[in-house]
Chains A and B, each alone.
Chain A
Amino acid sequence: MMMSVALPVVLPLLFGALSVMFWRSHFAQRSLGVLGTGAMLAVSVWLLADTWEHGHVVMEMGSWPAPFGIVLVSDMLAAIMVVLTGIIGFATALYSLSGIGKMSEKFGYYPLLHLLLAGVNGAFLTGDIFNLYVWFEVMLVASFALLILGGERAQMEGAIKYVTLNLLSSMIFLTAIGLTYGLTGTLNMADIADKLATVEDTGLITVIAMLYLVAFGVKAAAFPFFFWLPASYHTPKVAVSALFAGLLTKVGVYALYRVFTLIFNQDVDYTHEILLWVAAATMLTGVLGAAAHYEFRRILSFHIISQIGYMIMGLALFTPLALVGGVFYIMHHIIVKANLFLISGITFVMKGTHELKQMGGIYRTNPMLGVLFLIPALSLAGLPPLSGFFAKFIIIRAGIEAEAYWVVAVALVVGLLTLYSMIKIWAEVFWKAQPEGVETDDVTSGPMIWMWIPVIMLALMTVAIGLYGEPIYQMALMSAEQLLDPSQYIEAVLGESRP
């Protein structure tokens, strides 16, 4: 019996419940926030170690055997994602100590944070397609509430777009689940994969595959369903933005990786060709959108979209190396992107605005923050020796090997434009002199210590992945091998119960 696979879901639920119970005390909620996410990080590392050792870790919830009950399954990809959730959750909880404010705490910030993390981990670990839908909803309910904490007008506007698009995607997802169940008579993902092999009507399978593509494409903010993201991600509290930017869209990407390797691998020429076009279009639109904007978090939001394109490109090429690159890219991206958002929070405290035109001169007053910004920013653009370089390098090399030259060309151009955007932020926020006539609030650095610690932590990780990437590469390699051989997953879940 391996407990490690259930704990990353159960712990945040437990700590969330406890922090509802102690809703009166700000201190208790903060401590539970840090303790809970810290404990979650610890058990997720445990899960990663277990998965590394055994390949797959499976637990049948409530002892109902698969494929009838709900199973939690961890393979290498899921375990990696759970560890990343732990890292970002912990960093956000620390950051929130000085970045979130009593008002948000009073309206249930911490319970929602735990609930969101439980939803994200549940989505990564579940082996049941309907249960995946349920975790998506858990996550969305929590994110709706987090998005409007503070109740400003811009937040409401962003939230309406966010809610509408995501509900639509849930509806399509549910339709796809219904069709899948009608076709195979099961909801267990391993069992679906097993049964689909015997289904004659391959046309219908492709239709269902496209429904999943649309549903998860909306969640992942892939082209052409991305517009809810830049409309909403720059409105909530910075800690919430960072959490969303790091994790939420990646759950959509993860779901794409899961269903398009495990379940829909019959007609790769067709489905993954579409994915490749989606990837290229997503990269381009994201980066072009970013070039047109002058608001810190909006630029970053558009870059989430373009980076999602690289991840989908890894999946679409569907070679071992491409999947390694895709998984490596996800690891690199989550850390870097969350960090950039956290830094935008620090500059906001310093300057009182997110508008690039009204900022400036931070490098002169605070060179350390400049360096801390350059690490994730240059990594995002893919400069060696940072983590982003290797992520891009692997994917582009896979593209050349697969002879998909046009998409490689797009990826390279997008990398260059990303560098342009990052340099734009650098020049406007850190390098140029403070524009005259703009008031700045000078804030003491005392309570800000908790904002710095997670930023430094994540920046060190970015450097470490770049300089010492071998273990990360090995993990990505193992997950790619597992993804390309779904029979291992099916065997691990259904094992004994199969005739």
Chain B
Amino acid sequence: MNMHSLILRTAGHFLLPLLLLFSVFLLLRGHDEPGGGFIGGLVAAAAIVLYLFSMDIQSARKVLRVDPRDVLGVGMVLAVISAIPGVFRGEAFFTAQWWEFTAPLFGEMKLSTVLIFDIGVYLVVIGSVLTIMLNLAEAED
């Protein structure tokens, strides 16, 4: 698996944080513009996979810190839970709920169940892609 390429390894080191930041950017931008949880999750997973290619499985697992299956589970629970708040306001499941508030520095902000759902999707994509990739990489070794 380890390709011993200095260029790849250096690039992997520098690209990992950039790609992760970019994936969060895509996730948050996705509400009104192209982007969203799915594509953001794919970018984040690709970042880790690039790191896996340039290093090895152990260091990829280490940089991930948690088991991808946990990420998958938490993401699924978040996505399902985001359907529920609407019910407490007497509306149907999956009805989007919005909270507006003013935060210092940022000014007026809006939070919604849609964001929770998207974060859930983001985590599910990361979790499932990495579960598959890491298992394949381990099978190859």
Contact = CB atoms under 8 A, between A and B. Distances in A.
B73 A1 contact: no
Given A14-B80, A20-B76, A61 B93 contact: yes
A63 B77 contact: no
Among B69, B74, B76, which residue has the most Cβ atoms of chain A within 10 A?
Answer: B76
A33 to B, nearest CB: 15
Nearest to A108: B69
Interface stretch (B29-37, B48-56, B84-92): B84-92
Interface string A110-134: 0000000000000000000000000
B80 A23 contact: no
Contact of A20 (B73, B90, B95): B73
Contact of B77 (A3, A17, A23, A62): A17
B92 A6 contact: yes
B91 A10 contact: no
Given A62-B92, A63-B91, A14 B77 contact: yes
A10 B73 contact: no
Contacts of B79: 17
Interface in A14-46: 14, 16-18, 20-23
Contact residues of A: prevailing secondary structure: helix
B61 to A, nearest CB: 16
A17 B93 CA distance: 17
B96 interface: yes
A196 B30 CA distance: 38
Among B73, B79, B83, B95, which residue has the most Cβ atoms of chain A within 10 A?
Answer: B73
A60 interface: yes
B92 A60 contact: yes
A22 B67 CA distance: 12
Interface string B81-119: 101101100111111100000000000000000000000
- Which size bracket describes the interface of B in this complex? 20 to 34
A6 B93 contact: yes
Given A16-B76, A21-B77, A10 B83 contact: yes
B72 A62 contact: no
B73 A22 contact: yes
Interface in A279-337: none
Contacts of A63: 86, 91-92, 95
A3 B93 CA distance: 8
B8 to A, nearest CB: 33
B88 to A, nearest CB: 11
Given A59-B93, A60-B92, A63-B95, A20 B72 contact: yes
B70 interface: yes
Contacts of B81: 14
Contacts of B72: 20
Nearest to A17: B76
Contacts of A59: 92-93
B92 A1 contact: yes
A22 B81 CA distance: 16
Given A21-B73, A23-B69, A23-B73, A13 B92 contact: no
Interface string B18-50: 000000000000000000000000000000000
A10 B76 contact: no
Contact of A21 (B70, B83, B84, B86): B70
Among B74, B80, B90, which residue has the most Cβ atoms of chain A within 10 A?
Answer: B80
What are the 8 closest A-B residue pairs judged by CB atoms, nearest first?
A: A21-B73, A17-B76, A20-B73, A62-B94, A63-B95, A17-B77, A6-B93, A14-B80
Given A17-B77, A20-B72, 8 more contacts: A6-B92, A10-B84, A14-B77, A17-B76, A18-B77, A20-B77, A21-B76, A63-B95
Interface of B: 69-70, 72-74, 76-77, 79-81, 83-84, 86-87, 90-96
6 contacts: A14-B77, A17-B76, A18-B77, A20-B77, A23-B69, A61-B93
